[in-house]
Amino acid sequence: MILENSVPWLALLISAISLLVSTYAIYRDKSRVKVFCRVVYDDSKDQSESLDNPPPFIRIYAVNTGKRAVFLSNLCGYISRKSSTSWFLKDEPVAFDENGVPSVFASGYAHTSGVRLGDGEVYEYRIKHNDFTKLYDIHTDGTQFKKYFIKDVVGNKYFVKGSRQGIEELVKYKERNISS
């Protein structure tokens, strides 16, 4: 009689422990993306007009520190909660028609327009000092972006740490060179 009463409780305890272990494994193995940027001055002779005042560019790094892969789709310039502009992380793929004429073909699939980051992989995106479409929003009369974020295919936003200072530094460089 005691065995008949304790077996269901033992099964319930084992089920609860199994649920906790499964939940912990899912939480531990999920994808985690760290995104940050650095401003780098290009002092190579082939890129720089003046070695005394080399042009800066922003290097945006996206690192997957989780166990599961994540697809990053867009880099976005943030103006306000209601306004942002986005660009694909990869260039539009070029397709050839039956006559061999190249044409831009946007398939809309994540593997053609996005970047897959596996466990521990790093992706780098560069924004040059003269890339005005990435510094100013052309849809709102040239408003300067406040910061950047990267979106994945699920819709999660990963704000780029240090992008506000990076944008300001590129704009200051541009203003210094215009006034000179």
Name the amino acid, one letter, at 150. Answer: I
| Whether the model pTM is above 0.75 | no
Task: Quickly count: other Cβ atoms within 10 Å of residue 167's Cβ.
Answer: 24
Nearest to 60 by CA among 152, 130, 143, 158: 158
% of the chain surpassing 90 pLDDT: 24
Q: What is the pLDDT of residues 34-70, one digit of tens each?
A: 999 999 887 665 555 566 667 888 999 999 988 888 8
**Residue 21's pLDDT band (cuts 50, 70, 90):** very high
d(CA 159, CA 64): 14
State mean pLDDT over 111-135. Answer: 83
At 171 the pLDDT is 86
At 6 the pLDDT is 86
SS3 18: helix
The better pLDDT of the pair 118, 110 is held by: 118
Residue 42 in contact with residue 56, Cβ under 8 Å?
Answer: yes
Per DSSP, which regions of 2-121 are E strands?
A: 33-41, 56-64, 70-80, 83-88, 94-96, 102-104, 115-117
Instruction: Please state, in angstroms and as integers, the Cα–Cα distance from residue 91 to each residue in 6, 112, 171, following that order.
Output: 63, 9, 25
Instruction: Please state, in angstroms and as integers, the Cα–Cα distance from residue 75 to each residue in 65, 133, 173, following that order.
Output: 19, 12, 22
At 19 the pLDDT is 95
126 contact partners, CB below 8 Å, separation of at least 6: 57, 58, 59, 60
* Domain locations along the chain: 1-30, 31-179
At 4 the pLDDT is 81
104 contact partners, CB below 8 Å, separation of at least 6: 92, 93, 94, 95
